[in-house]
């Protein structure tokens, strides 16, 4: 009995230690900073595209008028009456003039650009999140798709940590300022607990995405039969690379279909093991690059690959990115820093 209690106590202690190590160990913000650059670029491009027909998609009287969305689609039943759901919100629900629409849009583009280059990083991450939610709630339903979900997820967690600690104009500005006040140690970057929490949340959110994407596919007869990949590549509207030669290779179609389902369902388990993690992540690159190249979903594929980069260790990120960052900083402030 005492032995059982002791082992239970040891288990709890070990669990407590593991939980703390998992969530609260400070980490180099290099990975989070790299994600800020890439997600910022993706957010900027995604929202720049709205400019091609801004009033039609986001204006009050566009393809789907705000009035219709708020009073017929985004509604809940209260005492037998259909009323707008208050918690579904968007700045664009209150914008009714073209000049204000464009002003907000240009401001949003500036915010996403600043996020990409890392100027006022934490502030623009918060603003970027609020703006990204505003855009997507205005077009849901209507013109949203998986890209918007991943964009919002990334910027939601970027704002939780010091996303401008590296690879940012903020850092270069700090460097320029600190060279005068602290010439011996101008740009030390301390490990950060909040950077670790932000990265962990992206990782776990990604696991949930893949788990439910896989479970949903398990319900599909064509995913079960191993033919679903054919129906995806045979869709002319998606097609950016002609893959219909697969019609003569049903075994390849079946292999790709089953591998996709097994990979999605098992991602949340296998990505945490250091031996299976590289396999799972390279499979992610393969699947999303394939979707990007063959099905024209370049932005969505890239966004998912960016999210998967949350599993890169800061050491790996620094090995790849620091040389480039050092060149840029040498160019801009005359000193090499990562």
Instruction: Tell me the C-alpha distance between 74 and 67, whole Å.
Output: 10
DSSP 258-271: HHHHHHHHHHHHHT
Check residue 88 for interaction with another protein (CB under 8 A).
Answer: yes
What part of residues 16-55 is at the interface with another protein (CB under 8 A)? 18-28, 30-31, 45-46, 49-50, 52-53
Task: By CB under 8 A, tell whether 103 contacts another protein.
Answer: no
3-state SS assignment for residue 27 = strand
Of 103 and 313, nearer to another protein (C-beta) is 313
The number of residues that bind another protein (CB under 8 A) is: 113
Q: Is 289 in the site for another protein (CB under 8 A)?
A: no
User: Residue 81 in 3-state DSSP?
Assistant: strand
Burial of 46 (0-12, 13-18, 19+ CB in 10 A): buried
Task: Spell 112-125 as b/e; 16+ CB within 10 A means b.
Answer: bbbbbbbbbbbebb
Under the binding rule (CB under 8 A), the answer on residue 334 touching another protein is no
C-beta closer to another protein: residue 37 or 131: 131
What is the rounded (10 degree) CA torsion for 239, 243, 248, 254? -80
Cα 242 to Cα 3: distance, rounded to the nearest angstrom: 65
Nearer to another protein, 2 or 337 (CB): 337
Q: Indicate which single residue of 142, 276, 326, 336 sits in contact with another protein (rule: CB under 8 A).
A: 142
Q: What phi and psi values does residue 8 have, to the nearest 5 degrees?
A: -65, -40
Smallest gap, in angstroms, from Cβ of residue 300 to another protein? Answer: 8
Asked if 102 interacts with another protein (CB under 8 A), we say no
Q: How far is the CB of 274 from another protein (least distance, A)?
A: 7
CB neighbourhood size of 195 (10 A) = 26
Counting contacts by CB under 8 A, is residue 8 touching another protein?
no
For the segment 230-249, give every residue that binds another protein (CB under 8 A).
230-232, 234-240, 244, 246-248
The yes or no reply on residue 136 touching another protein (CB under 8 A) is: yes
Q: Name the residue nearer to another protein (CB basis): 114 or 195.
A: 195
CA gap 278, 282 in Å, rounded: 6
Query: Binding another protein by CB under 8 A: which of 212, 262, 282, 320?
Result: 212
Using CB under 8 A, pick the residue from 83, 100, 106, 208 that binds another protein. Answer: 208
Site string for another protein, 307-326 (x = CB under 8 A): ---xxxxxxx-x--------
């Amino acid at each position: 009995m005492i032995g059982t209690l002791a082992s239970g106590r040891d288990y709890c202690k070990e669990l407590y230690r593991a939980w703390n190590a998992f969530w609260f160990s400070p980490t180099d913000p290099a990975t989070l900073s790299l994600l800020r650059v890439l997600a910022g670029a993706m957010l900027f491009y995604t929202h720049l595209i709205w400019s091609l027909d801004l009033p039609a998609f986001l204006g009050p009287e566009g393809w789907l008028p705000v009035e219709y969305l708020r009073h017929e689609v985004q509604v809940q039943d209260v005492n037998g009456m259909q009323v707008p759901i208050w918690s579904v919100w968007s700045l664009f629900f209150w914008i009714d003039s073209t000049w204000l629409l464009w002003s907000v849009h240009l401001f949003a583009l500036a915010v996403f650009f600043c996020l990409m280059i890392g100027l006022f990083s934490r502030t623009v991450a918060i603003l970027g999140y609020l703006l990204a939610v505003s855009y997507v709630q205005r077009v849901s339903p209507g013109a949203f798709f998986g890209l918007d979900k991943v964009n919002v997820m990334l910027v939601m967690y970027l704002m939780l940590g010091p996303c401008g600690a590296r690879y940012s104009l903020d850092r270069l500005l700090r460097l320029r300022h600190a060279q005068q006040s602290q010439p011996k140690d101008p740009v030390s970057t301390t490990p950060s607990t909040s950077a670790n929490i932000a990265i962990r949340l992206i990782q776990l959110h990604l696991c949930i995405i893949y788990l439910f994407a896989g479970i949903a596919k398990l319900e599909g007869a064509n995913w079960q039969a191993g033919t679903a990949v054919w129906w995806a590549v045979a869709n002319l509207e998606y097609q950016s690379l002609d893959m219909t030669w697969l019609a003569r290779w049903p075994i390849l179609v079946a292999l790709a279909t089953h591998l996709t389902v097994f990979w999605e369902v098992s991602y949340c388990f296998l990505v945490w093991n250091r031996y299976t993690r590289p396999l799972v992540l390279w499979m992610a690159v393969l699947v999303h690059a394939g979707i990007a190249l063959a099905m024209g979903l370049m932005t969505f594929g890239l966004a998912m690959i960016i999210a998967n980069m949350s599993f890169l260790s800061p050491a790996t990120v620094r090995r790849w990115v620091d040389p480039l960052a050092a060149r840029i900083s040498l160019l801009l402030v005359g000193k090499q820093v990562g």
